[in-house]
Amino acid sequence: MIEPIIKISNLCKSFGGTKATNDVSFELKPGEALGIIGPNGSGKSTLINLISGFVKPDKGQILFKGINITGMAPHKIVNLGIARSFQMSRPFYNMSVFKNLIIPISSPRARKLRGGKYGDLDEAAIHLLEEVGFERDSQVPYKEAGALPHGYLKRLELARCLALEPDIVILDELFSGMSMSEIASVVPLLERIKKEGKTLIMVEHRLTELFKIIDKIIVLNFGMKIAEGLPRDVMTQDEVTSAYLGSEVKTGA
């Protein structure tokens, strides 16, 4: 029996009167990949913000490797090994693309993992950019990040997560706004990350590509978990289809 790497129980969060996250629980084993789907406004982003510490829960508990990280400051959670990307990928505009990566590469966590050494950070940054699909010999890594097209920004965002060498990678709508060919180039990378034993949590709208990567899926609606299981099984459930088709959901509660 493998211990879960992350265990979330009864997480609740309200903003004003709306329950953005309502009693959500799940757990993941190391190396598993989870997809979180649901209609717009169903609480996917709030759930990610809760796990990464950017929003403090009203109730519930998050255990990471047995450590209670509920309500911990976000930078501390990162340093324990949970990295996240943002849906709106805003780079550091005035820096060149590879300089953008220097910040995560020289972060406390990355430094500790390398044994306190800085090393050749520029080279490490370029190497990482190559991994997510930038071409080393093109001008792109040396350009100002503010001028990057959207697809590249998304990949830069992914590289920022990977630079932290995390145990859990949370990706918030990584595929949105990427072209088919760009997605196709990222999917093998994500599969490789998974093989390396990292745990993935992905919020996505692009289901076809998502299903290639994930082992397990959670469907959210109105902040509540309405289904959980293997992707193919879950998608045929009535509640899930009706949530996606927009009709009213009977939660049976």
CA distances from 39 to 54, 183, 216, 220, 250 (A): 22, 21, 18, 8, 15
72 lies in the binding site for another protein (CB under 8 A): no
Would the CA dihedral through 69, 72, 198, 208 be positive or negative? positive
Which CB atom, from 8 or from 153, has the smaller least distance to another protein?
153
Supply 151's token pair: 């697809």
DSSP string of 171-235, one letter each residue: EESSSTT--HHHHHHHHHHHHHHHHTT-EEEEE-S-HHHHHHH-SEEEEEETTEEEEEE-HHHHH
We find the least distance from the C-beta atom of residue 90 to another protein, in angstroms, to be: 5
Which CB atom, from 74 or from 177, has the smaller least distance to another protein?
74
Cα–Cα distance measured from residue 200 to residue 97, given in angstroms and rounded to the nearest whole number: 25
We find the least distance from the C-beta atom of residue 209 to another protein, in angstroms, to be: 24
- The answer to whether 7 and 70 have CB atoms below 8 angstroms apart is no
103 lies in the binding site for another protein (CB under 8 A): yes
We find the least distance from the C-beta atom of residue 240 to another protein, in angstroms, to be: 29
109 lies in the binding site for another protein (CB under 8 A): yes
Which CB atom, from 162 or from 186, has the smaller least distance to another protein?
162
Strand, coil or helix: 17: coil
Which CB atom, from 60 or from 104, has the smaller least distance to another protein?
104
Cα–Cα distance measured from residue 45 to residue 34, given in angstroms and rounded to the nearest whole number: 14
118 lies in the binding site for another protein (CB under 8 A): yes
Length of the chain equals 253
106 lies in the binding site for another protein (CB under 8 A): yes
Strand, coil or helix: 129: helix
108 lies in the binding site for another protein (CB under 8 A): yes
Which CB atom, from 54 or from 211, has the smaller least distance to another protein?
54
Which CB atom, from 157 or from 182, has the smaller least distance to another protein?
157
We find the least distance from the C-beta atom of residue 16 to another protein, in angstroms, to be: 8
Count the alpha carbons within 13 Å of 144 in the hemisphere toward its beta carbon. 4
Q: Residues 18, 75, 150, 184: which binds another protein (CB under 8 A)?
A: 75
Cα–Cα distance measured from residue 219 to residue 242, given in angstroms and rounded to the nearest whole number: 12
We find the least distance from the C-beta atom of residue 215 to another protein, in angstroms, to be: 25
Within 170-229, the residues that bind another protein by CB under 8 A are none
Binding footprint of another protein on the chain (CB under 8 A): 15, 52, 54, 73-76, 78-79, 83-86, 90-95, 99, 102-104, 106-110, 118, 121, 160, 163-164
